Amino acid sequence: MQVEGKVAHVTGAAAGIGRAIALRLASEGASVAVSDVDEAGGAETVSRIDAAGGRALFLRVDVAVEGDVASAIRRTEDAFGGLDILVNNAGGAPEPYFPDAEPGHWLHQTAVNLLGVMLGTHYGIAALRRRGGGVILNISSRAGEGFRAHVAPEYAAAKAGVWRFSASLGSLDDERIRVNCICPDWVEVEGMRAERLAVGDEEWAKVAPIELVQPGEIAEVALLLVENDDLAGRVVLCPHDGPWGMVPLDEGFRIEPLPGLRA
């Protein structure tokens, strides 16, 4: 897909990976709907796009609320004439975690991280069908990979669900709707950067790597998946400490290189 002249909607785009993807798509000529619960951060993302000569608008959206998601897709179409690219990026893992957190807390986080992706995809598919096709890109996490222990089990489980959900929708390629997924590792988003500065590199290194993936790198992977019409139902792994690769569509689990990714 050629991004120039297309319409994109990016959830969780007030900061971090979502902001980087929104800025990157806008730099390629897409009109971008920026959605988030963070109004100040969302306005900043829109301001950066506007300053660079792009077109954008901010929509306050809680992806765990069906009405918000449905309205956001409709308002994107109303503002820009349709929808071609949907990036379901909104997510997070605020403390406390399961099982210490009360059910209301971890149920909401599960809704944000998994059901929000499913709601966005549901309403996004309807919009893409009206457009005759398009691309959905879901942002998961390597927290959902494998069988290791994880400090936030609800987050890991939700992100595993995003991975499998995305791959399961590969058959939509018959309708010219491509669904792909990115699984980043440790990414240097704003909150993580502030935490590292607060504790210092020595303490940080006890729990996390020093060299982190940059949001802009994930944005480049997103652009590659949007532009490559041959890729559907794929999951791209982006570890902080090794080569990046793609899980192909077959019954086995193996990683194959994808041109343009970090070697």
The CATH number of the domain holding residue 18 is: 3.40.50.720
Sign of the four-CA dihedral 168, 87, 234, 214: negative
The torsion defined by the Cα of 12, 16, 18 and 19, in degrees rounded to 10, comes to 110
pLDDT category, 245, cuts 50, 70, 90?
A: confident
Evaluate whether 183 touches 169 at the Cβ level (below 8 Å): no
Selection from 216, 208, 207 nearest residue 241 by Cα: 208
1 within some domain: no
Domain enclosing residue 165, as ranges: 7-247
234 within some domain: yes
Q: For residues 54 and 51, what is the distance between their CA atoms, to the nearest angstrom?
A: 7
CB atoms within 10 A of CB 79: 16
pLDDT category, 110, cuts 50, 70, 90?
A: very high
262 within some domain: no
pLDDT tens digit string along 134-177? 999 999 998 898 888 989 999 999 999 999 999 999 889 889 99
Catalytic residue among 97, 155, 163, 186: 155
Evaluate whether 75 touches 127 at the Cβ level (below 8 Å): no
**Residues with Cβ < 8 Å from 209, sequence gap 6 or more?**
186, 240, 241
Omega prior to 99 cis, within 30 of 0: yes
171 within some domain: yes
2 within some domain: no
pLDDT tens digit string along 4-61? 999 999 999 999 999 999 999 999 999 999 999 999 999 999 999 999 999 999 999 9
263 within some domain: no
Q: Residue 256 carries which DSSP code? A: B
pLDDT at 63 (0 to 100)? 98
Count of domains forming the chain:
1
Q: For residues 15 and 194, what is the distance between their CA atoms, to the nearest angstrom?
A: 13
20 within some domain: yes
Structure tokens at 145: 């990979």
Active site residue 155: yes
190 within some domain: yes
pLDDT category, 242, cuts 50, 70, 90?
A: confident
pTM of the model: 0.93
The torsion defined by the Cα of 141, 258, 230 and 10, in degrees rounded to 10, comes to 30
Here the contacts of 250-258 (C-beta below 8 Å, separation 24 or greater) are 258/224
Q: Mean of the pLDDT values across residues 70-82?
A: 98
CB atoms within 10 A of CB 188: 17
Structure tokens at 100: 């210490």
Residue type for position 60: R
